[in-house]
């Protein structure tokens, strides 16, 4: 128990050194603020997103590595500096430079490879598991480490990060098939109405993976019919 207490004290003392870091993310091309940029502390795996003004707040220690990711933009890494506002500029991804072009890969595949490479260490981090050895009698190891790990903030952040990473990757794939161009051509919807329709009628990842183009179009038409019926009912009720 003394060992567990000592480790917990170390964990809490490390966390106590962390402080809120404020920053702003903007487009390097237009200098306008970027909304919904994912900001991740690669040391603690804690993450947050920027608001509509491009501002974010995240807990970090001096020197922690912060990553900034947004679909369609290059990922960048910056060092957290205590007391100074972090200014990050993201540049749109272009595929015109031959040195960065991989033949026969879609933008989604390139982005997936880039993300998996950047977060390889975090995604493949293995939790401590108890083990039993019979070399010198019965020896059980890892019990304390496993218990303490599950209580730590970094473990919970790591678990949450992996879940969010998986969900984000799945949504990006869905977006490659369930596109505004496709939905607009089948429904005639445009602008905000089109965006609202897509957001309020999400597609499941498994279906997006397995459906043929014909099945995908049929699904959109069926959902649109239900959408029109619901809107007609609402108009009559008013």
Residues with Cβ within 8 Å of residue 133, at least 6 apart in sequence:
139, 140, 141
* CA 186 centroid distance within chain: 30
Q: Encode pLDDT of 68-107 as tens digits.
A: 999 888 999 999 887 788 999 999 887 554 555 545 666 7
In angstroms, what CA-CA distances link 41 with 26, 69, 79?
18, 12, 10
Q: Encode pLDDT of 205-227 as tens digits.
A: 999 989 999 999 999 999 999 99
The residue extents of the domains of the chain are 2-127+151-169, 179-237
DSSP class of 142: S
- Strands 139-141 and 131-133, bridge-based pairing: antiparallel
Residues paired with 26 in a beta bridge: 33, 89
Domain 2-127+151-169 belongs in CATH node 3.90.600.10: no
């Amino acid at each position: 128990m003394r060992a567990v207490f000592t480790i917990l004290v170390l964990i809490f003392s490390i966390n106590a050194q962390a402080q809120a870091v404020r920053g702003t993310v903007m487009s390097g091309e237009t200098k306008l603020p970027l909304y919904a940029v994912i900001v991740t502390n690669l040391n603690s795996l804690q993450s947050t997103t920027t608001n509509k003004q491009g501002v974010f707040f995240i807990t970090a220690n001096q020197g922690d590595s912060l990553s900034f990711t947004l679909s369609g933009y290059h990922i960048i890494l910056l060092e957290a500096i205590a007391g100074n506002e972090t200014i990050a500029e993201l540049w749109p991804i272009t595929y015109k430079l031959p040195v960065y072009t991989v033949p026969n890969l879609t933008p989604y595949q390139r982005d997936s490879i880039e993300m998996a490479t950047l977060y390889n260490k975090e995604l493949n981090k293995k939790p401590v598991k108890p083990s039993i050895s019979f070399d010198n009698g019965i020896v059980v190891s890892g019990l304390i480490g496993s218990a303490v790990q599950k209580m730590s903030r970094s473990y919970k952040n790591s678990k949450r990060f992996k879940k969010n990473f998986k969900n984000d990757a799945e949504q990006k794939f869905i977006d490659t098939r369930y596109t505004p161009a496709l939905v607009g051509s089948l429904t005639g919807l445009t602008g905000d109405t089109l965006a609202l329709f897509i957001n309020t009628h999400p597609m499941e990842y498994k279906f997006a993976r397995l459906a043929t183009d014909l099945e995908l179009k049929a699904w959109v038409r069926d959902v649109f019919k239900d959408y029109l019926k619901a809107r007609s009912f609402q108009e009559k009720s008013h």
